[in-house]
Amino acid sequence: MSAHTGGTRERTAELRALREQVRRGPSEKATEAQHAKGKLTGRERIDLLLDPGSFREVEQLRRHRAVGFGLEAKKPYTDGVITGWGTVEGRTVFVYAHDFRIFGGALGEAHATKIHKIMDMAIAAGAPLVSLNDGAGARIQEGVSALAGYGGIFQRNTKASGVIPQISVMLGPCAGGAAYSPALTDFVFMVRETSQMFITGPDVVKAVTGEEITQNGLGGADVHAETSGVCHFAYDDEETCLAEVRYLLSMLPQNNRENPPPVESSDPDDRSGQALYDLVPADGNRSYDMRAVIEELVDDGEYLEIHERWATNIIVALARLDGHVVGVVANQPASLAGVLDIEASEKAARFVQMCDAFNIPLVTLLDVPGFLPGVHQEHGGIIRHGAKLLYAYCNATVPRVSVILRKAYGGAYIVMDSQSIGADLTYAWPTNEIAVMGAEGAAGVIFRRQIAEAADPEAMRERMVKEYRAELMHPYYAAERGLVDDVIDPAETRNVLIRSLSMLRGKHAELPHRKHGNPPQ
């Protein structure tokens, strides 16, 4: 800018004009090009995310100092990233948003320093951090300085992990090393068609492997929501996506020293759940949708399912009981009969860790026939992956209440927050079957010789199955041995959960002193 002249009023007017110019962005043409791709600008996104008028920008007038490759002639304000803080439903949230109109949102040294600063501020203030990602990776003209900027972001992501909620919203491309920052955060949101994440793009894939694939086919929202599990939430448009980010933030605490914010609930805590009698068939071989059970139990039937389309044989969700946030982990009999496999174990383990980090009590709903058998599962490491869920539950110090609706067989029963691994309270419905394995399999092992030698093996097998079921799988067997705290009327489950969690609200559990554990990988 030219040398300053005039008094304070003139200089202030000059400042306002400069700020307005920065807010408008590099040009109308660049804004139109962004809109033509079906994408909003960084500032439009921030306006949707934060409460109206609450955004306070930091380092708006920052510019890069790089030279070479024509950079010295192009030094836009903000350097392609908007950073600051505001509020969501009145609570402080820090945010940074790439501005694709400036250097394609590419990260240079000044750009990275701005992000580092806002991340440090979020950690110091103890408030969530939301990143609105729409950048073309490292700024090639700045060379290794840009790469070092990513290293600083990764280091801060790790430092903030389990301290403040970190949410990554993918609203454009995210390629190469840049994709590791979202992977380090607690939640990843994506928008279909306009956002992609991959380490190596389609051109490199084709050159190395000969495979031809589109950007969306390689790393689009649906791929990461259904196949890779990288994305927790996928939406059709940015407006819906950012509204859901706000909703998620309303369920999370500001940091790991606080509890999630409670709300007044108009749903009676003693509301009878008689619909549950018909929702869950007593016949263990019949399927049903566990989502209907969750809707019947939680306040107003509302819950936020996470990873809805990945590892669908297990459900993880945030909901409220009597106005207080809980994390729900539930087997899903409508998908693979609710068995645990590699992906379900990983999905549930990460969710349990997140809930434990942010003081969210856990409610576990069991109907699990075991771990998924098969060569692919064993060779894929079901032992170490299943152990992740076991480790997460054993390590969790938040209130933990589990309810056994129907089947709870073998190691899967133990892993799904059984009393033996530290559940505070364990309840069972009268339809529960807790056993090492199903009656048919157990009878075949125990009474193999008698069945083989019988005149009518099939009749003998049937008789032995009934005998095993009557002796070891009746609903009160576990209660008689203190392995469940009570067998409850399904219609009273909501009330029992609310009262149990109310009692456990003051729970305080200490883990042994250590630098950190060494969880299975």
- Name the DSSP letter for residue 436: S
CB contact at 8 A, 166 and 354: no
Residue with tokens 């190469």: 176
Burial class of residue 53 (count of CB atoms within 10 Å of its CB; 0-12, 13-18, 19+): exposed
pLDDT tier at 144 (50, 70, 90 boundaries)? Answer: confident
Q: Residue 504 and residue 241: Cα distance in Å, rounded?
A: 34
Tens digit of pLDDT for each residue in 201-240?
888 888 999 999 999 999 999 999 999 999 999 999 999 9
Q: Residue 216 and residue 202: Cα distance in Å, rounded?
A: 10
Pairing of strands 324-331, 425-428: unpaired
Residue 258 has pLDDT above 60, yes or no: yes
Distance of CA 267 to the CA centre of its chain: 26
Which amino acids are annotated catalytic? 176-177, 411-412
Residue 389 has pLDDT above 70, yes or no: yes
Pairing of strands 166-170, 129-133: parallel
What six digits make up the tokens of 325? 């946030």
Q: Residue 44 and residue 39: Cα distance in Å, rounded?
A: 10
Q: Residue 188 and residue 169: Cα distance in Å, rounded?
A: 6
Q: Is 386 helix (H, G, I), strand (E, B) or coil?
A: helix
pLDDT tier at 183 (50, 70, 90 boundaries)? Answer: very high
Residue 436 has pLDDT above 80, yes or no: no
Residue 108 neighbours by CB under 8 Å, 6+ apart: 64, 66, 79, 80, 139, 141, 142, 145, 146, 149
Distance of CA 447 to the CA centre of its chain: 46
Tens digit of pLDDT for each residue in 59-103?
876 776 666 666 666 777 777 899 999 999 999 999 999 998 887
Q: So what's the pLDDT on residue 103?
A: 76
Pairing of strands 196-198, 187-191: unpaired
Residue 311 has pLDDT above 60, yes or no: yes
Nearest to 330 by CA among 405, 258, 243: 405
Q: So what's the pLDDT on residue 67?
A: 61
Query: What's the whole-model pTM score?
Result: 0.92
C-alpha dihedral sign at 351, 352, 356, 362: positive
Q: Residue 247 and residue 455: Cα distance in Å, rounded?
A: 65
